[in-house]
Structure 1
Amino acid sequence: MSLGSPFDGAAAAEPPSLDGIDMLESLTWEERDRVAALCRWQRFRAGETVLDQDGDGCDVCFVVQGAVRVVSYSYSGREVSFDDVPAGGVVGEMAAIDGQPRSASVEALETGTLIGFLSGSAFLSLTTGHPQLALALMRRLASMVRRCTERIVDLSTLGAANRVQSEILRLALAQGGERGNTAVIRPIPVHADLAARVGTTRETVARILGDMARDGFLERRSGEMVVHDLARLRALVEEVRG
């Protein structure tokens, strides 16, 4: 059950701001305010479904507060995780573009996650009327294709240990604050989440991370994972990728 509308009192007469949405940065603040007024706003608890896989809706979702995860489930119930989208991100644009059912589900990662739902038709009108926004959308979709291609290659050619190493390197570079040849990942990745990302089991991830720690790549501290010798880890990942 969702947390309801954020407009539950007189003090909340204005819709939330979309100023933090990266894709909309080319719009003026007046234009962003008009888009915000067109949105349906809703808060979600951690684990609650924002968008259903195979659903026929075509709304585009602006993540204003909190974070969401894009996931899919096999017929056996196994979770495959594609991406975590923090505040400032957008999900659901593919269905708005092609009118097809959702290709994945979207779930809230944090209680209090605030989503602005913009209808697919309004989103298409917005993009066709603003070339810089359309270009930002194309760049985002191109980035998604590149990431998916890389994951397909990894899943097709690498063993479980190499896939986990590759994912740790990606997190270290994308989420961690890189300092010289080390990086810090906060919070410490959950084994089940890593397993869903790289197509293996939680037990296998635990074993591989233990091996990486013994080899000097990882160090667990309070609330964070320190990745040592990024150059060596990058070289190892690139070597097995060929």
Structure 2
Amino acid sequence: MADIAVELAGVELFAGLVPEALGRLAERAYVQRVGRGQVLFIEGEPSDTFLLVRSGRLRVFRDSPQGDELTLSFIEPGATIGELSVVDERPRSASVDAAEPSALVAVPSGVVREVLRSSPDSMWHVAQQLAAKVRQLTDTTADLVLLDLPRRLGKLILEQAVDAGGGRLTTTFVTSQSGVAAMLGVTRQSLNRALAALVRRGWVRAADGGRLEIVDAAALRRFIAS
């Protein structure tokens, strides 16, 4: 329980809570483990748990009435799911599955609401968290409207790049090509054409292990901003 309390203390939503309040959350928390591809919940289901990703990676997605699937985001270790439903007590706004085997710290949503209501300072942090999500959604909407596919793909490659040493930046998508296409709201064929265009310009190239190596990050950033 002490370990869980320490993990919960690192959650921005709980930044205004005193140790006693964090302890109350930890007392009711439990660890949930999910395998790759396992669905945690479906859009429209009751939201009865607040989740902290301890390890692994989760995928947030929505399905259209026509059966198309759009990946909205990936949830990394240290990030959380369920803040909105904690506040408005409405059903899940999207579906979530595991992009890879994951361990989660789950806290009943009702317990979270009870603890937050007891701390005026914590409500300020809740407002800040919701404001950050609105800004993120604004940026995402702007990208969809203002950037064509090659630029959106280039931006995604840069956002997920890691330092591979020797001044090299590489990107490895944890999802399939179909998953990346869904994230960008396009078909797999369109994604392949956009990637081929970036390769032809000499800004990225294929590397071992399914990685993409960024050859000229500065040129890619200028392209995205143009």
Which TM-score bucket, shorter chain as reference?
0.7 to 0.9
Question: Matches of 1:230 and 1:52 in 2, distance apart?
Answer: 38
Question: CA RMSD, aligned part only?
Answer: 2.8
| CA separation of 1:109 and 1:32: change in aligned 2, threshold 3 A | farther
Does the aligned pair in 1 maintain the 2:41–2:95 contact within 8 Å?
yes
Tell whether 2:17 aligns with 1:23.
Answer: no
- Pick one of 215, 224, 227 that aligns with 2:214: 227
- Pick one of 162, 169, 186 that aligns with 1:200: 186
| CA separation of 1:219 and 1:136: change in aligned 2, threshold 3 A | farther
Map 1:87-126 to 2 at 5 A.
87-111=77-101, 113-126=102-115
Question: Matches of 1:67 and 1:29 in 2, distance apart?
Answer: 28
Of structures 1 and 2, the one with the larger relative CO (CA 8 A, separation 6+) is 2
Question: Matches of 1:71 and 1:134 in 2, distance apart?
Answer: 28
Tell whether 2:132 aligns with 1:143.
Answer: yes
How many residues were matched structurally? 222
- Pick one of 167, 177, 185 that aligns with 1:191: 177
Question: Matches of 1:59 and 1:109 in 2, distance apart?
Answer: 19
Gaps of 5+ in 2: none
Question: Matches of 1:50 and 1:208 in 2, distance apart?
Answer: 32
Q: Which residue of 1 aligns with 2:29?
A: 39
Question: Matches of 1:16 and 1:77 in 2, distance apart?
Answer: 41
Does the aligned pair in 2 maintain the 1:80–1:197 contact within 8 Å?
yes
Question: Matches of 1:82 and 1:34 in 2, distance apart?
Answer: 32
Question: Matches of 1:188 and 1:122 in 2, distance apart?
Answer: 33
2:163 is paired with a residue whose SS is coil
Question: Matches of 1:222 and 1:18 in 2, distance apart?
Answer: 41
Does the aligned pair in 2 maintain the 1:166–1:237 contact within 8 Å?
yes
- How far off its partner does 1:206 sit? 1.4
- How far off its partner does 1:103 sit? 0.8
Identity across aligned pairs (percent)? 24
- How far off its partner does 1:201 sit? 0.7
Does the aligned pair in 2 maintain the 1:23–1:136 contact within 8 Å?
no
Gaps of 5+ in 1: 1-13
Residues 105-144 of structure 1 deviation map (CA, whole Å, 9 limit, x = unaligned):
1111222x22222122211233334456544443332222
- How far off its partner does 1:178 sit? 8.6
Does the aligned pair in 2 maintain the 1:97–1:120 contact within 8 Å?
no
